[in-house]
Amino acid sequence: MSAQFTQYLLTGLTVGAIYALVALGFSIIFNASNVINFAQGEFVMIGGMATVSLIAVGLPYLLAIPLAVAAAALVGLALEKFAVEPARGASVVTLIIITIGASIFLRGLATIIWDKRFHALKPFTGDAPITIAGATILPQSLWVLGVTLAVVLALSWFFGRTLLGKAMLATSHNRLAAQLAGINVRMVLFLSFGLSAALGAVAGILIAPITTTSYDVGVMLGLKGFAAAMLGGMGSGVGAVVGGIALGITETMSAGYLSSAYKDAIAFVIILAVLFFMPSGLFGKRGGERV
């Protein structure tokens, strides 16, 4: 393996991990409601921007990060409570349009609360690059990979081992049966918005020291996360992770070996290709409507 290839691979893994976190957020809400939440990217933005503000008022990372994640989760819960819940019973398309409206609203709000400039966040632990097999990796990238791994493990524990997690899964598989078992499916939807928002915020905070953050950082990251979720199969946890990593690596490889001009186009090519040839993605549920 050439050092150059290793370099692209490491960069791709880092970006891919972020996409995976965003994609997981898409999948969790999709599972609870069949809705694709296009405000997912805004949670990423809120995470990064809130951390910047909290650091600016003098809080240490150890406090600023949990607070920023909590703030994003609250926004997610409020979005469900005040925008999605009142439209209960509306069609999925209506709900998706509501989330698009919410994303525009949140972006606008961010320009008022904050501003339209780019903000850099200091890396968590220094910025001296580490050399691995001729390639270099930033300590922040290790944070991205490590935290993403921890989040994925925590999620698989939550959905595989806890009763509440299983109840959320059960609701996604069969809403009627979940209701008849006494699971409060409205609460499940509420929780999934909070959880997805928290995941998005974590992604936004992790990536901010590498790429900087701004009020509209969520537009592109949201779309990339959506592409990753589509590639992996909307609703599949494994798919979100695989889709995110695959998209990240494809992107950096094509930027490195072809031209960086095409970097962002890759995500859109993938969305189109998946929609045309493999609408259920790599790990998605097969088949059409259940009657």
Of 2, 179, 259, 260, the one binding other proteins (CB under 8 A) is: 179
Question: Which of the stretches 137-145, 180-188, 200-208, 217-225 binds other proteins when contact is defined by CB under 8 A?
Answer: 180-188
Contact 11, 252 (CB under 8 A): yes
Is 238 among the residues that bind other proteins (CB under 8 A)? no
Q: Does 9 bind other proteins (CB under 8 A)?
A: no
Q: Are 54 and 71 in contact (CB under 8 A)?
A: no
167 is a contact residue toward other proteins (CB under 8 A): yes
> From start to end of 6-67, where are the E strands?
none
- Residue 274 in the binding site for other proteins (CB under 8 A): no
Paired with 135 in beta bridges are: 132
Q: Does 234 bind other proteins (CB under 8 A)?
A: no
By CB under 8 A, how many residues form the interface with other proteins?
16
Using the contact rule CB under 8 A, the part of the chain among 73-81, 140-148, 160-168, 220-228 near other proteins is: 160-168
- Residue 241 in the binding site for other proteins (CB under 8 A): no
Q: Is 128 near other proteins (CB under 8 A)?
A: no
Cβ–Cβ under 8 Å, residues 147 and 206: yes
291 binds other proteins (CB under 8 A): no
- What's the rounded Cα separation, in Å, for the pair 193 and 81? 9
For the chain, what's the residue count?
291
Q: Which of 1, 128, 163, 261 binds other proteins (CB under 8 A)?
A: 163
What minimum distance in Å lies between the beta carbon of 276 and other proteins? 27
Burial class (CB in 10 A: 0-12, 13-18, 19+), 140: buried
Nearest Cα residue to 235 out of 179, 176, 286: 286
155 near other proteins (CB under 8 A) = no
Contact 223, 37 (CB under 8 A): no
Contacts of 222 (CB under 8 A, 6+ apart): 22, 38, 39, 40, 41, 42, 44, 103
Q: How far is the CB of 178 from other proteins (least distance, A)?
A: 8
Q: Which of the ranges 40-48, 50-58, 167-175, 253-261 carries the binding residues for other proteins, by CB under 8 A?
A: 167-175
Q: Which residues bind other proteins (CB under 8 A)?
A: 163, 166-167, 169-170, 173-174, 176-184
